[in-house]
Structure 1
């Protein structure tokens, strides 16, 4: 926290450094987004990135919870008395939420997900994972739509489908890594139905039953992407290019899982460089004709 409140330009420069220095793919994503919103997206990304780090990059869940609670106070200050905000993220974010008319709820929801991660490490069903995504993933899609001037709930609900599917695709991709962090995002009822145990996950045993379970989960997630794809027809063409890139990126993760026989235990499925080039090339052509 700086001693003196930074100017808006200084705050935006700080967010630019965080956004472009922390995650190289952010350059690619923002290139496809409408240029008029560049500084807004950098402020949004900085908030999301910092919130995630406060929950994950700390020594204990207790510390994470305390930091997230303090961050929540700064968020509410950003909305209620923005002139008092001193952290550069909230100085930049305050201008974005004011000019783009973004409600506070998506930001609050995102913090709720990070708080839940401090105490909840198992989920009973896909429905429970979808409920988790209401807080962990869906707010990001809603932030993007609001920023670009789309406030209709019908579009938000389609965005929720895509964001939930992206969250689930990442869960299916990261089974082994999540286990190492003490978390299991596979639905417990599916594990019971297929006879998959946590001992098998710990031992990295990709049994036929595990593969069959993953096949079913991938199919459910593909259907969710298909449902949400109608969102791309409800927004202007330039934004649709970016939303389509998000969706296809998630579907490509599912393709990678399928390509290695639904074994996400012995090695993490990755999107190949060739697949990434194909995705970006296709999006580039679509952007040029949008």
Structure 2
């Protein structure tokens, strides 16, 4: 039984009264969460992991908690995953219980879940970035664990992790570009390196305009240059994956990352939401079939 054993006051100060989970779902991601390409036996584990990731993401993005309250709740989630704390019988906290059980059952390291919490704790107090290296370090915790989870769930070798890290970091930065205006407006958060904006003579307020100014466009393109480098490294991933279905899944995601990067070169993420469509998914699937031969 995962029940509260500490005093009610202590638990209330950590967990708070309300579940702040949003209605956000798998359709909000750039990659297919638990898609039909993944083995039916593995999909429940993927859903459990995704549900946990979504809940901790919601905890840091809510406006109903202070930064200190967010960090306390996030740290508690990580402690539940590590088996250091009991969880209250509430939907959000129980995702940590479920992910712990699943990780122990599958032999996937607990860090694939707790590293995500580290990233979101940063989001609770850090809303500006000063360099590409700083942004990549954030991706190390916010995105790369997802790839590690999927690969280790499928028993893949360690040599697949580096190209997986490149792919996951690329997807994360692409998401930062997609959501740059909305992140500033709704969360006062900007992942674009501030010195890059200064070099182009623009400030973050340029993200509040109706369309990108030329200087802001150059910052987006500079980020996309780095994403292209990551995507080139990510091209190696499918050929390193032994599981046939996971190989196809990774190949599709690699193709989607390339197509989204190209689309963001052509379109203005400030003026409109730029995202992969159904045609992108079908083209990516078609281009990936060669990895099954």
The two structures share one fold, judged by TM-score above 0.5: yes
- What's the offset of the Cα at 1:81? 9.0
Q: Distance in 2 between matches of 1:279 and 1:116?
A: 33
1:120-159 → structure 2 map (5 Å cutoff):
120-152=126-158, 154-159=159-164
Aligned residue pairs total 268
Q: Distance in 2 between matches of 1:85 and 1:246?
A: 36
1:124–1:151 CA distance, 2 compared to 1 (3 A): same
Structure 1 counterpart of 2:175:
170
TM-score by length of 2: 0.80
Matched, 1:191 2:197: yes
Q: Distance in 2 between matches of 1:217 and 1:203?
A: 20
- What's the offset of the Cα at 1:194? 1.7
1:1-290 → structure 2 map (5 Å cutoff):
22-24=25-27, 29-60=34-65, 61-77=67-83, 88-152=94-158, 154-180=159-185, 181-236=187-242, 237-260=244-267, 263-283=268-288, 285=289, 289=292
TM-score by length of 1: 0.81
1:150-199 deviation line (CA, Å, top 9, x unaligned): 252x3222211111111111111111111112011111221122222123
Long gaps (5+) in structure 1? 5-17
1:151–1:98 CA distance, 2 compared to 1 (3 A): farther
Question: Residue 186 of structure 1 aligns to a residue in which SS?
Answer: strand
CA-atom RMSD in angstroms: 3.0
1:85–1:230 CA distance, 2 compared to 1 (3 A): farther
1:39-69 deviation line (CA, Å, top 9, x unaligned): 2112211221122122223513333222212
1:110·1:137 contact (CA, 8 Å) conserved in 2?
Answer: yes
Long gaps (5+) in structure 2? 5-20
More helix by share: 1
2:252·2:281 contact (CA, 8 Å) conserved in 1?
Answer: no
Q: Distance in 2 between matches of 1:41 and 1:165?
A: 21
